[in-house]
Amino acid sequence: MDISKRIIKHFKDSAELKLKVKDELAQPIAEGAQLFFDCVANDGKILCCGNGGSAADAQHFAAELLNRFEKERPGLAAVALTTDSSVLTSIANDYDFNQVYSKQVRALGLPGDSLLAISTSGNSPNVVAAIHAAHERNMRVVALTGRDGGEMARALHANDVLICVDAKSTARIQEVHLLALHCLCDVIDYLLLGE
């Protein structure tokens, strides 16, 4: 396959997956936005985590909530747990990489706060551990996953929200995750500000 054809196939595959999953994801994304809206409207904060590209997604989402998305509004309380290299390296060095997010959730999380947990496989142990830590702190969870939702789907409670992209490719799942995160921002702003 020539290189242009290869690139065009990526665009087609990405667009086709987004169209394929739009109807099944609309409801869980709406529920996730409502959960986060209720959280910040009641003075809670949103802690966000993931690995690799999903760490970037966690930061991207936290920045759009804390600063702004598309409209002027007060900053919303969102914190990415992926950014402080001193915290991350000390936990990984002294304990275990699997605890880099759960230890932060236990330290920072309060009842009424919420967790955005992102993993395309649904199986990253540090993200699964963050979900368990959030539950210990009486926090609700929005999980963004792929494939069959993996261990994360099994760890969720009934009042959590699972947004699972039914696909196998990590890159394609991440591309839908980014769209889902922008939908969450848009709906949170709509609930706050109206049209």
Ligand X SMILES: O=C(CO)[C@@H](O)[C@H](O)[C@H](O)[C@H](O)COP(=O)(O)O
In the complex, which residues of this chain contact ligand X (CB under 6 A)? 51-54, 119-121, 124, 170-171, 174
Q: Residue 117 has which token pair?
A: 């947990």
Q: Which stretch binds Zn ion (CB under 5 A): 57-65, 90-98, 127-135, 168-176?
A: 168-176
Identify what 112 binds: ligand X, Zn ion, none; CB under 5 to 8 Å per kind.
none
CB 165 within 8 A of CB 152: no
- Closest approach, Cβ 167 to ligand X, in A, equals 12
In angstroms, the CA 54 to CA 178 distance is 9
Q: Which stretch binds Zn ion (CB under 5 A): 9-17, 51-59, 94-102, 160-168?
A: 51-59
- Closest approach, Cβ 3 to ligand X, in A, equals 19
- Give the residue with the Cβ less far from Zn ion, 60 or 106: 60
- Give the residue with the Cβ less far from ligand X, 71 or 154: 154
Out of 53, 68, 84, 96, the residue judged to bind Zn ion by CB under 5 A: 53
Q: Please list, in sequence order, all residues whose beta carbon lies within 8 angstroms of the beta carbon of residue 32, skipping any fewer than 6 positions away.
A: 142, 161, 163, 180, 184
C-alpha count within 13 angstroms, C-beta hemisphere, residue 166: 7
- Give the residue with the Cβ less far from ligand X, 102 or 174: 174
Q: Mind giving me the DSSP string for 9-65?
A: HHHHHHHHHHHHHHHHHHHHHHHHHHHHHHHHHTT--EEEE-STHHHHHHHHHHHHH
User: Is residue 54 a known part of a binding site?
Assistant: no
- Closest approach, Cβ 23 to ligand X, in A, equals 24
User: Is residue 53 a known part of a binding site?
Assistant: yes
Identify what 120 binds: ligand X, Zn ion, none; CB under 5 to 8 Å per kind.
ligand X
In angstroms, the CA 79 to CA 63 distance is 8
- Give the residue with the Cβ less far from Zn ion, 53 or 125: 53
Task: Name the 3-class secondary structure at 115.
Answer: strand
For 111: left if phi > 0, alpha if psi spans -120 to 50, otherwise beta; the answer is beta
- Closest approach, Cβ 178 to ligand X, in A, equals 11
Binding residues for substrate: 51-53, 64, 93-94, 119-121, 124, 174
Binding residues for Zn ion, rule: CB under 5 A, are: 53, 174
